A = this chain, B = another copy of it.
Amino acid sequence: MKPPAPPAPTLPRGAGEGAPSQPEKSVLPGSPSPAPRGRGVGGGGPLVPRLEEQGYTAEDIAARRRWIEEKTGAGLTHLGAFTLTGERMRGNIENPIGAAQVPVGVAGPLLVQGEHAQGTFYVPLATTEGALVRSYERGAVAITRAGGATVRLYADENRVAPVFIFDGVAEAAEFVRRLPEWFDAIRAEAESTTRHGRLLRLEPHPLGRDVMVHFVYATGDAHGMNMIVRATDRACEWLVAHTSARRFLIFSGLEGEKRASGSLLAGGKGKKVVAGVRLPARVVKAYLHATPEQMADVWRHTVLGHLQSGTLGYNGHYANGLTALFIACGQDVANVANSAVGVTSFEVVEGGDLYATATLPSLTVATVGGGTGLGTARECLEMLGCVGAGKAPKLAEIATALVLAGDLSMAGAIASGEFVQAHEEYGRNRPAPHPETHRDEETGS
């Protein structure tokens, strides 16, 4: 459930200047303000107390929080008011001091006609961006009133891309040519480390004397990065031992994990999902306040803006909906960096209807592992009927219908010229100024 990011989880031991020799022992539970330790080469301040067993008891978390309060002068009352049990956080966070609270609203009804998700959903969205929930709600209702979004899942896999380094171009080429011979052995090594991951295929990408290889796995309903990194590492060691590869690095940058890469558009990283809906003109007009022709006009002109700015793909604001859904549902939110690369399309079709689609080539969602079992996350997954094994494809289909809703709503607001006016009117219609507008004038937000 970890991305390529997670590095060595230990601080240096006995590393000379600055490194604490026994970090776990030196700070006892209940010792909220340890004497500054670890000042070294450049000084700078003490390490965060490690506490016994890394400190996941309620007392340890409170002690650490008080230590931070003392160090920084901040009062951390809200952070301490969480309902997760501390031990439950182990494996999800280190140096815990509490939990952030992010407001959750619901957008729906969203009618999804997928193969895994079928029915009406009320989608939990965690955000602090005013109007976001209203916007997605509007699009969701439009889709629903038009009969729902058809969604199809094309691919469901994950990958790691180590790089192998050779003496020269000839050795690299030889390696690539012989790679298929070794597939069975590689798979056996890789799968020896996991009960759930299956190695599907290898895709070599030679570049100079380097050969990057996509190790592509099925990972079930988990995000699975930890699992497949471990499996791939084992396989890489086998390859270095048995081939002319001199050495390897477990990540090459090719994998596209948590980054916006052009290669994501071709799929292979996460789930590829497409959602589409045919909206009668009257539904477009009633809910989006525009005509299908105006919607297509917005698409056409804003595609030019995407082309002009060298954007990967085209979409209105996938990142908004995915981020809010991911925070609510305990996903690895940083995966929005790859998941939000995709393409929206609007087209006027026969009969004057609008056919709108959203294509997500690299959606990364999970229903087991990671943060999916934690308190509020699990509840939000329950709202969608997406708890546990077998539910990740369902979550993927809902997510794709969701971003389609968001882009419909946004295009409608642009087409109708209501984007700003709606905010203004919203405020004017109410006896007191809209609080958001008000705050803006006070603070500049």
Q: Is B128 a contact partner of A371 (Cβ separation < 8 A)?
A: yes
Residues of B within 8 A of A252 (CB): 301-302, 304-305, 308
* Other-chain contact of A135, B5, B212, B222, B359 (Cβ < 8 Å): B5
Residues of B within 8 A of A303 (CB): 253, 303, 307
9 pairs from A and B in contact (CB 8 Å cutoff): A2-B132, A48-B106, A77-B375, A91-B434, A102-B327, A150-B168, A259-B312, A259-B319, A319-B337
- Bound form: Cα–Cα A277–B427 in Å: 45
Q: How many residues of A contact B (CB 8 A)?
A: 238
Known: A8-B416, A101-B83. A330 touches B41 (CB 8 A): no
Known: A95-B106, A141-B47, A359-B207. A413 touches B8 (CB 8 A): yes
Q: Is A72 a contact partner of B122 (Cβ separation < 8 A)?
A: yes
> CB within 8 Å of B: which of A319-342?
319-320, 322-324, 327-328, 330, 332-337, 340-341
Known: A210-B301, A249-B302. A6 touches B444 (CB 8 A): no
Residues of B within 8 A of A74 (CB): 379, 382-383
Q: Is B337 a contact partner of A333 (Cβ separation < 8 A)?
A: no
Known: A265-B263, A443-B368, A444-B196. A128 touches B42 (CB 8 A): no
Known: A105-B96, A368-B443. A345 touches B10 (CB 8 A): no
- Bound form: Cα–Cα A18–B15 in Å: 51
Q: Does A428 contact B (CB under 8 A)?
A: no
Q: Does A1 contact B (CB under 8 A)?
A: yes
Residues of B within 8 A of A327 (CB): 100, 102, 327, 333
- Bound form: Cα–Cα A159–B76 in Å: 34
Q: Shortest beta-carbon distance, A441 to chain B, in Å?
A: 6
* Other-chain contact of A274, B12, B206, B366, B441 (Cβ < 8 Å): B206
- Residue-wise interface mask of A (220-248) relative to B, using a CB-CB cutoff of 8 A (1 in contact, 0 not): 11111011011001000000000000000
